[in-house]
Structure 1
Amino acid sequence: MSEIINSIAVKDLDGNSVDLMELYKGKVQLLIIYNNDCLGCTGRAIPMAYEFQLKYPDILVAGIHADFDNREGTKENIKAIFTSGEIPFPFYIDKHHKVYDQFQAEGTPQWLLINEKGELFRSIFGSQDNAKNRLFYALESLVSEIN
């Protein structure tokens, strides 16, 4: 059996402290840890997350900008990656890349699929087709487990 994730401490885009495990308690979460300076993240992974949000409306999709030295996320630079200027799902900021470290991310983007019990169901690195397929199958198997 998987271990329960007690906390995912981030900041919202207005700088308020948020615990995603508390905020989205009882919901299946697909979290993408990314950085604006990662072209695979902004060019492929964020659009992929949006596709998953449309395909699985019962699953909460959220972005977590991992801050690294001189590569910090702000409300303005996160909004700027969207041509519409609108943010399509919740985004949060991981100050000092603590969440990135908490989940031993291999790099960005790192996907975290958390089941409704608060357990890490899958952690997948990447934005290429292989990662997309692995995510799709993980989401399908988790959705079938719920239903």
Structure 2
Amino acid sequence: MNSIIPSIPVLDLDGLAVDLMAAYKNKILLLIIYNNDCLGCTGRAIPLAYEFQQQYPSVQVVGIHANFVNREGTKANIKSIFTSGESPFPIYIDEHHKVFDQFNSEGTPQWLLISEQGELFRSIFGSQENAQNRLFYALESLVKHDN
């Protein structure tokens, strides 16, 4: 059994502190930790996150832009990767990549699937087909399990 995640501290795009575990309490969360400079993130993972948001309306998709030295996200450059200029799901900023480190991320994109009870159900690295399949099966398992 996984333990309850006490908090996931991030900043919203206006720089205000948010704890994702409090903000999305009692929801299945699919978090994508990414960085705008990661082509796999912007080319495959962000569109996949959008697909999952459409396919699983009971799952809250949330983006977390991990800030690394000389690869920081701002409200303008985070929104600039979307053709509409607006993100299709909430995106937050991980200052000094603390959340990235909190979950021992292998790189970006790192996917975190968190149950309604606040437990880490799966952590999956990558955006290519193998990672996409593992993520799909994890979502199917959790959504069926919790409904």
Q: Which amino acid aligns with 1:4?
A: I
Task: Using the TM superposition, give the Cα deviation of residue 39 of structure 1 relative to its aligned residue in structure 2, in angstroms.
Answer: 0.3
Distance, in Å, in 1 between the alignment partners of 2:103 and 2:8 is 10
> Which residue is equivalent to 1:104?
104
> Which residue is equivalent to 2:7?
7
- Which ranges of 4 or more aligned residues in structure 1 deviate by more than 3 Å? none
> Which residue is equivalent to 2:82?
82
User: What residue ranges of structure 1 are gaps of 5+ in the alignment?
Assistant: none
Distance, in Å, in 1 between the alignment partners of 2:17 and 2:144 is 33
Q: Which amino acid aligns with 1:56?
A: Y
Residue 49 (structure 2) pairs with residue 49 (structure 1): yes
> Which residue is equivalent to 1:95?
95
Task: Using the TM superposition, give the Cα deviation of residue 83 of structure 1 relative to its aligned residue in structure 2, in angstroms.
Answer: 1.1
Distance, in Å, in 2 between the alignment partners of 1:55 and 1:29 is 14
Q: Which amino acid aligns with 1:22?
A: A
Task: Using the TM superposition, give the Cα deviation of residue 117 of structure 1 relative to its aligned residue in structure 2, in angstroms.
Answer: 0.2
User: What residue ranges of structure 2 are gaps of 5+ in the alignment?
Assistant: none
> How many residues in Structure 1 have an aligned counterpart in Structure 2?
147
Aligned identity (percent) is 76
**Secondary structure of residue in 1 paired with 2:93:** strand
Residue 70 (structure 2) pairs with residue 64 (structure 1): no
Distance, in Å, in 2 between the alignment partners of 1:82 and 1:126 is 20
Q: Which amino acid aligns with 1:84?
A: S
Q: TM-score, length-normalised on structure 1?
A: 0.99
> Which residue is equivalent to 2:27?
27
Q: TM-score, length-normalised on structure 2?
A: 0.99
Distance, in Å, in 1 between the alignment partners of 2:28 and 2:62 is 11
Task: Using the TM superposition, give the Cα deviation of residue 86 of structure 1 relative to its aligned residue in structure 2, in angstroms.
Answer: 1.6
Distance, in Å, in 1 between the alignment partners of 2:95 and 2:119 is 23
**Secondary structure of residue in 2 paired with 1:138:** helix
